[in-house]
A and B are shown apart, each in its own frame.
Chain A
């Protein structure tokens, strides 16, 4: 009893202290917030841009794409005299695709006085910094965070990729024009990207009057068996399956197993299918037909912008750029355009320039302008795989769905 009393006493003291302390700190932080805006000013002659991406861990491939793309862009810009006469320097941090690590990296960049940030790759990690970015008045351009809610809530967040809902809508529109009114979905419940696309695709199907007859799923991206899921699709009698997975699952597992299970219809996916050809066994190449997917850009595009980017990237890094590379590259150029429009590197001025929805950005991943939320309004190329006949797989542009087609 005495013990308990002592404990209670201790508690009361701590609480009361903490309570006054709490109010004290909030009081003192209020006036300081006003001059906090000046902190992220450009220092000296270099303009620092922060890059947060998952450079180690399971998703390191995305991070590598983003920061190599950004490095290439910075090298080009610096060679051409920089932005507003300032040389650009990238400060790269690793978030391992984890929300907490991403927030730590963000705080670290802000405390160094950096006010322009590119990052991060995944929606889960990026959503951890959208609120703080708004609060700290730091601009964020997300290269590949596609969840709808990333840009809707906050003023300082922009992205160069389209949102999940747009990608789902493009796929649904494609199904509609191709004449499929019954479709199936196979997706991964354990992955944000996959389940986000599944949600947006089924919502778009409901709008377009397409019936989703069968939905099957896998628990995690490490699942190796998809045969049963596609047998279920065959049994449901669908000829169009939306399967939002990543390249390393699509190439070795999903497509070969779907075909082996007797499913011959269309398989449609999204930007995760990018670089699939590197992940296909020679013997499986012949079954890669009737597969369509939407992407940020098409590497085989003949436009001057894309060919020069692909060539420069290959020269510097020795491999073909992934979509992550393209969006990382574009993020830097979007900053360049916005800073030049604003005539200042001040984050709030850059934000105002980015928020101008009439500005058109000509990028590798398409020509677009931002909508009110900060998401690009752009179309998407629909790409298909084709068997080259020698055990490798090529890609072919099928169609470009314009942004106006979706409205």
Chain B
């Protein structure tokens, strides 16, 4: 019975994803892959893809395992640089000359997987010592590791300028083999979407597996979990490594979307929304323990940030609000504090969106609303 339900779930999800793809391709056909579609929608989708992966992967550690990690972008940096340098090396070695064809696609996937693996290995190495600590100490130590990773990349002799050149240590890599231009982004958008969907599926499977149940037990009560026979430290390290893998994949997607990399993009804080602090913000806003929440929060944050920076309507606002929007971080900080005060578990809490359960959820929500209404009515009649 249960298996039947699971199978039905997969079928429904697959069909919906397939339908979404067809719809998207029809849209591509209508827009002809040009104009705003190419210049605004597609780059936005690329950015959403890596932000979603980044937020969702951090949620595994922050929401499900309950450990605050402040250096998540360090793993992303490793992924980005790995993918960029491998592809650059392939380009220099003449494995591919133009950015098309089966070989090129294989190289992209190879780079993405390599990026994830190297990030995972780093995650393992960082996790083993770091996860012996918890709470505030873990936060600081992961922050430290994030800074060390960036510092070390800065000092590598082959990561800067045009890359792989001799003895040129710098903070910025100007050309990457797989950095896509606008047209290539449209052509290869399906890679980003497929990678994101596959990774999200893997993460959903993880949190629903026995591992997921174990780490939730650890979050609720470590001592009780270990008393019930859960090997706390190995589960922690496993989750950390697993999460680092997807951060690395997000990094590889970032390297695809941008033809230049600079380590300042992966710092603890910077002026943009891609940094270790903001990933934490996304996870907290969306809901610690809800992958759905992370996805929604990442998309919303991207959209808001993009609109504040580029939207023409911002200039039309009254001067005071316009002035505040020049410093969007102010707005985010206030929103974050308000959300934490009023919804300590984030907007979605631990709710997960499911197509199969959707009718039930709607029914339940209706019932709840009706109950609340009835209660209010009753209170009013009494009052």
Give the interface of A toward B (CB within 8 A). Answer: 2-3, 6-7, 9-11, 13-15, 17-22, 24-26, 28-29, 32-33, 36, 39, 54-58, 93-94, 96-101, 103-105, 107-108, 110-111, 123-125, 127-128, 130-132, 134-136, 147-150, 153, 189-192, 195-196, 199, 219
The 8 Å CB contact of A195, one of B7, B169, B189, B326, is B169
The 8 Å CB contact of B186, one of A26, A98, A147, A150, is A26
Contact B309 A104 (CB under 8 A): yes
Pick out which of these stretches binds chain A: B24-32, B118-126, B138-146, B283-291: B24-32
Chain B neighbourhood of A22, CB < 8 A = 187-191
A6 with B263, Cβ < 8 A, contacts A128-B258, A219-B154 known: no
Per CB-CB distance, the 8 closest pairs between chain A and chain B, nearest first, are A57-B271, A29-B33, A96-B271, A18-B190, A195-B170, A10-B14, A127-B260, A6-B10
**Can you give 21 A-B contacts (C-beta < 8 A)?**
A6-B11, A10-B17, A14-B21, A14-B197, A18-B21, A36-B34, A56-B271, A93-B310, A98-B264, A98-B272, A100-B272, A104-B43, A111-B36, A127-B259, A128-B259, A131-B181, A136-B182, A149-B175, A189-B169, A190-B151, A190-B264
Contact A107 B33 (CB under 8 A): no
Contact B160 A195 (CB under 8 A): yes
Contact A24 B28 (CB under 8 A): yes
Query: Bound complex: CA of A182 vs CA of B325, how far in Å?
Result: 52
B13 within 8 A of A: yes
Query: Bound complex: CA of A101 vs CA of B328, how far in Å?
Result: 14
The contact string, 1 if C-beta is below 8 Å from chain A, for chain B 295-338, is: 00000000000100110000000000000001100000000000
B161 within 8 A of A: yes
Chain A neighbourhood of B270, CB < 8 A = 57-58, 96, 98
Contact A105 B309 (CB under 8 A): yes
When C-beta atoms are compared, the residue in chain B nearest to A96 turns out to be B271
Contact A107 B10 (CB under 8 A): no
B18 within 8 A of A: yes
Contact A14 B36 (CB under 8 A): no
Query: Bound complex: CA of A14 vs CA of B17, how far in Å?
Result: 7
A15 with B194, Cβ < 8 A, contacts A96-B272, A190-B171, A195-B160 known: yes
Chain A neighbourhood of B29, CB < 8 A = 24, 28
Interface residues of B in 255-294 (CB under 8 A from A): 257-265, 270-272, 274
Chain B neighbourhood of A124, CB < 8 A = 171-172, 260, 262, 264
When C-beta atoms are compared, the residue in chain A nearest to B311 turns out to be A108
Contact B258 A149 (CB under 8 A): no
Query: Bound complex: CA of A98 vs CA of B269, how far in Å?
Result: 12
B116 within 8 A of A: no
CB proximity of A44 to chain B, nearest CB, Å: 17
Contact A189 B171 (CB under 8 A): yes
Query: Bound complex: CA of A14 vs CA of B263, how far in Å?
Result: 34
CB proximity of B42 to chain A, nearest CB, Å: 9
CB proximity of B252 to chain A, nearest CB, Å: 15
**Given contacts A98-B274, A124-B264, A131-B181, could you give 5 more A-B pairs where the C-beta distance is less than 8 Å?**
A19-B190, A97-B271, A105-B310, A190-B151, A219-B154
Interface residues of B in 142-191 (CB under 8 A from A): 150-151, 154-155, 160-162, 167-172, 174-175, 179, 181-183, 186-191
Chain A neighbourhood of B263, CB < 8 A = 190
B35 within 8 A of A: yes
Chain A neighbourhood of B7, CB < 8 A = 2, 6
Query: Bound complex: CA of A32 vs CA of B170, how far in Å?
Result: 39
B381 within 8 A of A: no
B57 within 8 A of A: no
B39 within 8 A of A: yes
B6 within 8 A of A: yes
B59 within 8 A of A: no
The 8 Å CB contact of A29, one of B172, B187, B259, is B187
Contact A21 B190 (CB under 8 A): yes
Chain B neighbourhood of A15, CB < 8 A = 194
The 8 Å CB contact of B28, one of A28, A33, A99, A128, is A28
Chain B neighbourhood of A94, CB < 8 A = 309, 326
A26 with B170, Cβ < 8 A, contacts A13-B14, A56-B271, A107-B39 known: no
Contact A196 B161 (CB under 8 A): yes
Chain A neighbourhood of B36, CB < 8 A = 111
Contact B193 A18 (CB under 8 A): yes
Contact A104 B265 (CB under 8 A): no
Chain B neighbourhood of A14, CB < 8 A = 14, 17-18, 21, 194, 197
B38 within 8 A of A: yes
CB proximity of A80 to chain B, nearest CB, Å: 27
A17 with B21, Cβ < 8 A, contacts A124-B172, A127-B260 known: yes
Contact A99 B32 (CB under 8 A): no
When C-beta atoms are compared, the residue in chain A nearest to B275 turns out to be A98
CB proximity of A292 to chain B, nearest CB, Å: 24
Query: Bound complex: CA of A194 vs CA of B327, how far in Å?
Result: 28
Contact A132 B188 (CB under 8 A): no
B47 within 8 A of A: yes
Query: Bound complex: CA of A32 vs CA of B37, how far in Å?
Result: 12
Contact B274 A3 (CB under 8 A): no
The 8 Å CB contact of B32, one of A28, A55, A148, is A28
Contact A11 B198 (CB under 8 A): yes
Chain B neighbourhood of A19, CB < 8 A = 190
When C-beta atoms are compared, the residue in chain A nearest to B14 turns out to be A10
Residue among B32, B33, B35, B260 with the highest chain A CB neighbour number at 10 A = B260
When C-beta atoms are compared, the residue in chain B nearest to A202 turns out to be B167
Contact B43 A219 (CB under 8 A): no
When C-beta atoms are compared, the residue in chain B nearest to A188 turns out to be B171
CB proximity of B15 to chain A, nearest CB, Å: 9
Chain B neighbourhood of A20, CB < 8 A = 25
Contact B183 A111 (CB under 8 A): no
Chain B neighbourhood of A3, CB < 8 A = 6, 10, 205
When C-beta atoms are compared, the residue in chain A nearest to B170 turns out to be A195
Contact A149 B162 (CB under 8 A): yes
CB proximity of B204 to chain A, nearest CB, Å: 10
B228 within 8 A of A: no
Contact A21 B28 (CB under 8 A): yes
Contact A18 B194 (CB under 8 A): yes
